[in-house]
Amino acid sequence: MIPNPDPHVTTIDLELGSIAGEVSWSLNLGRIDRLAVAGDDIIVAGRTDSNSELVIVRDVDPAAPVANEIDRVPLPWQATLLETAELDGDAGLEIVVAPMPVTAVAVYGLSDSPTDLTVVELDFEAIDIATGDHDGDGKDEIYALDPRDERIIQIPL
């Protein structure tokens, strides 16, 4: 592979909400722990100073001068797992984050509020989470891997 001699870089400044350039993104968030892309949204779980937060940069258009919307949601812990899913059948994606070890799962996007999280505390320490439409109903479920009995447990919302 020959490197591109003229790379185009889009920098999204999460403090100012401004975008410049095109093609790829460079995020300034102090420390980014997890990153996901869902359509034209960029989702970051990271830390600014000592606070953990979920940042959703919506409707990213590299040709536009600014991001249309940036939501910042405080997290109760540092997210080490990040999944996107369609959990409620409304065609809008939800964001699932969890700490490590997985003692809880937080879901963003189940309500209309730009800052609401639904947090489900687990009664065990899982080692991983996954989302998917296992039962074929058109909505994803959240699953956790429980190492105690090597079992997969569906997390109820």
Per-residue pLDDT of the chain (157 residues; tens, 9 = 90+): 344 344 444 455 555 544 444 434 444 455 556 777 777 777 777 776 667 888 887 777 666 655 567 788 899 998 889 998 999 988 788 999 999 999 999 999 998 887 789 999 999 999 999 999 989 999 999 999 999 888 999 999 8
Range of the domain at 30: 9-155
* Residue 1 counted as domain residue: no
Question: What pTM, to 2 d.p., does this model score?
Answer: 0.75
* Residue 3 counted as domain residue: no
In whole angstroms, give the CA distance from residue 155 to residue 68: 33
CB 15 within 8 A of CB 49: no
Given this model, what pLDDT does residue 33 score? 66
Given this model, what pLDDT does residue 142 score? 95
* Residue 4 counted as domain residue: no
**Domains in the chain, number:** 1
* Residue 138 counted as domain residue: yes
Given this model, what pLDDT does residue 68 score? 60
Q: Phi then psi for 99, rounded to 5 degrees?
A: -85, 175
* Residue 127 counted as domain residue: yes
CB 28 within 8 A of CB 18: no
